[in-house]
Each structure stands twice: as structure tokens, then as C-alpha cells.
Structure 1
């Protein structure tokens, strides 16, 4: 009797319960993959997910070279030195006017959203090449359109990740590795619940908008989003089909994609201004002071 085929393997970063990573891990687990579910704090991974027979939980800090190397070693021992799919899902968000943002904190955000992605790809490359594998990078619609109030640092980091991912796609293709760039729109996660509202400095030109920014941090931007599991199921389908390049995914993704193609800048500015009227609110405040 022929031995059972070895299941495909996938490593996913940022798998804390309630997030996109958890939805991805659940979807790939149901599809029969050997899932390496990782998080900086493994105890934050759902016990029900961690308890599945084809799920291995690993501690992984994507900002630590040593932690990434340890993850490579752990995966190699279980898969014979191969990895079929690497999903770079970990990320961070910051909201702050550009005039007030800490440059040091901004660089840290780029470390998570851009440099850590490249570090993961570099370190796992031998395993991916051996498997003729797949790299999946989770970016954001905010990297294409300047959605949200005071998100210039986050938006810029995701724009860098999109262009980086698409460039890496071309570089990795001759090595037999495919690359999928997820341009993610609204997904109902607990990301905002876990984030403290930003504090705008009292001497900021934008201090009067503190209440507005705090309200935006309550998760309302995700109200029309899809669930993490729905997100994960879509990604599994795209991977199974062998899709490469950019895939727009999430609530409002189709409209955002269409708008980015068709709308001139002035029309997009007007649309975003109606969705996030902070410029008008600030002008009204300044006029009221005069």
C-alpha cells in the first residue's frame, strides 16, 4: 500500500485570535495543510486552533533575526527542509498627523510592515525554492489610496510593501517561487480593540481633532468588512489556483480598486474628504478661533 502523501505546509505570521492570521490559519488547516501558526506571544493563539492535529504553534518575532532563524530550523525539521507557502501577515498600525509623528516610531512601523517581510522571505527562501513554493504578502488598500485620517506613515509603509512584493515576485519567479500580493480592504478583526487611541500633542495644529481621531480608532472602519475566516478561504482559493500578482480582497475592495483606476486625483480627494471630513472640521475650528 502506497504511503499517504505528505501534506503541504504553510507558515503564517501574526496568528493571534481574532485577527486575519487566525482566519488564514483556520482556512489552511481545514484544507489539510500542515499549518505553522506563529505569533510573538504564542499564548494569544486560539486554543482550538492550536489543538488541531495539523497545526504547530511557534513563537516568532518578525523583528528578530534570531527568532526567524529558529523558526526556519523548526520548520525544516518537520518538513524535510521545505515550505510550500509563506504568508507574511504580521503588521502594525499607527495614527498620527505627519507633523506630530515621531520619526523614530515611524521607522519602527516600516520595520514591521516592510523590512520584516523581506527578512522573512530572505531567511525562508531556501525552503521555498526547494518546494517550488509560494510567498503571500498581506498589504493594504491604504497603500494605494490615502484612506483614513492621519495615516501617512502606515499608508506609506504599505505602499512600500506593495511595490516591494510585486518586485520580489519578478525576482523570485525564475527560482520557481510564486508571489501573491494581497491588497486588503475592510476585515472585521479585533485590531482596533487592541490598539490604544492616539494622543495628539496639545501644541499640535490638529489637537482640536483629538475626539474625531479617537472615534476613528473604535473599529467603525471595519463595519462593512468580511470576516477573517472569509478572508482566509479566499486566500486559500487563490493559492490553490496558482494566482500571482495583486489580489484586492475585503469589504469595499472592488470599489476601491475601480476608483483607483478611474477617478482623477481631484475626484478621489473629494470622495476621501467626504468619508474622512477632518480637513473641513479643522478649518471650521480655525475659523471659529478668528
Structure 2
């Protein structure tokens, strides 16, 4: 009997994409290592599920990553079939008002942490001739206003992920770069609103900017289960390279690439009307 395949997923808090991925891989018969920084945030279903190991993992800590590697090695015999870099975070704020320190923290989590995870788990992935899946974002392609740090960090990860694909292929490891669009999660909360300084050029449209955290950008999103089912399917069938997933993924992909610049500008403005709102503010 073949050994049970294994997958490690970062960022598995209840209600998020990570939880959905963990459930989908478990249903496919994988031994799931569901990791998160705060174990108390795991769902009750996952916490009691068979063939699910909950690991405390802070992807910003080399010591924590090393401990996770050792835990997986003990369970699997120095193998890991799938590594999914899912953890991530954003900030909704104008570039002119974003502190460089805060921006660097976002890059640490969204870019450097996935690279650290790859380096740490590469021997296990190579032993298993496995697959690494990096969850980037459609924001790496669509330049949505007031998300420049998030957009930039995800664009960096997307480019790096595709570069790693060429580097890892000779070692027998596949790479999938997820280009994620709208998925209905609990990630959008009011406590993520940016405190706009009164000196900001954008102070008069602060309601528009803070409104980006209310979840309306996920209106046309798919469920975490639908998203996770697609990801599992792509992993299982041996896919490599970019995979667009989420609400209206295919139409968004081709609509963007085939559109001239002025149409792209109209698309961005339709989601976040910064030009029209600033024009109104200047007339007041």
C-alpha cells in the first residue's frame, strides 16, 4: 500500500482559504499539516479531524519554521508531497501615507516568508518529487489603488514563484503559482482600517479607502471550498505554472490581457473610483 501523501499549508485560521485547502486535501486522503501562528484560531472541524496535524508556525521565525520541518519529518520520513505558502496580509492605505516600516513587514510576510519556507522544506519536497504552491493574487496584475504595498509584495512573489519553477524543475519539484481573485473569507474586517492623518492629500476620501475593508470586493467571490477544490485538482493532475482561481477568474484573466490601456484604467476605476472621488473632493 502506497504511503499517504502529505501537504503542509500555512495560514489555516478558521474561515480562511487555508482552512478550505486543509479540508479539501484531507477529503482527498492526504495527511494534512495545518499550520497557523495561533492554534486557538483553528476550526473545530480541523482540530478533531483524522489525519490532520495542527502545528504552531510563525512563518516569520526561522526557529518556528525549523521546528515545523522536524515535526513533519518525524511523521512522514523526510518527505513532503505538497507545500502551500498561503499566509499573507495586506494594508489599505495610500502610498504617500504608508510607513516604510509597515510596508517592510508586509513584504516579510508575503514574500520573504514563502522563500524561507521553500528553503527549509526543499529537502523534503525533493525527496518526494513534490510540488510547491505559492498563493499570490490578481493584485499582482491589477494595480488597485491604495494597495500598492500588498500589490507589490504579491507581484514579487508571483515573479519569484515562476523563477523558482525553472530552478526546481531539474530537482523534480513542480511549482504552481496561484493568481487568486475574489474568494469569500473572513479576512476583511473593520479593525484593518487605516487611520488617515488629517494632513493626507486623501483625507477627504478616507471613507472610500476605509470602505475597502468591508468585504464588498469579495461580492462576486467563490467559496473557500470551491477555490480549494480547484487547487487540489490542479495539484493532482500535475499542473505547473500560473493558475488563475477565484471569482470570474478566466474572464478577468483574458479581459485584462486583451484590453488596451484606457479600458484597463476604466476597469480599475470601476472597482475603486479614486479619480472621480478626488475630483469631487477638490470641488468642495
TM > 0.5 fold call: yes
Q: Tell me the CA shift for residue 280 of structure 1.
A: 1.1
Distance 1:195 1:165 in 2: 31
Asked if 1:159 corresponds to 2:155, the answer is yes
Q: Tell me the CA shift for residue 92 of structure 1.
A: 0.5
2:66 to 69, 76, 100: 69
CA distance change for structure 1 residues 194 and 275 in 2, over 3 Å: closer, same or farther?
A: closer
Distance 1:216 1:131 in 2: 41
Aligned to 1:209: 205
Distance 2:192 2:142 in 1: 24
1:185 to 181, 185, 189: 181
Asked if 1:82 corresponds to 2:76, the answer is no
Distance 1:31 1:198 in 2: 40
Structure 2: gaps (5+ residues): none
Distance 1:217 1:287 in 2: 26
Distance 1:131 1:69 in 2: 19
Asked if 1:143 corresponds to 2:144, the answer is no
1:272 to 249, 258, 268: 268
CA contact (8 A) 1:141 1:253 kept: no
Distance 1:194 1:23 in 2: 23
Aligned to 2:92: 95
Distance 2:191 2:259 in 1: 33
Aligned to 2:34: 37
Distance 1:129 1:261 in 2: 35
Distance 2:60 2:91 in 1: 17
Distance 2:39 2:253 in 1: 35
Deviations 1:213-272 (A, max 9, x none): 222210011111011111111111000000000000000222221123101222201221
CA contact (8 A) 2:11 2:87 kept: yes
1:244 to 240, 244, 257: 240
Aligned to 1:234: 230
Superposition RMSD in Å: 1.0
1:285 to 276, 281, 284: 281
Distance 1:171 1:195 in 2: 40
Distance 2:91 2:192 in 1: 10
Aligned to 1:14: 11
Distance 1:266 1:287 in 2: 25
Asked if 1:117 corresponds to 2:101, the answer is no
SS in 2 for 1:200: coil
Deviations 1:143-172 (A, max 9, x none): 01113x301111011110110000001100
Structure 1: gaps (5+ residues): none
CA contact (8 A) 2:190 2:214 kept: no
Aligned to 2:55: 58
* Matched length: 284
SS in 1 for 2:32: strand
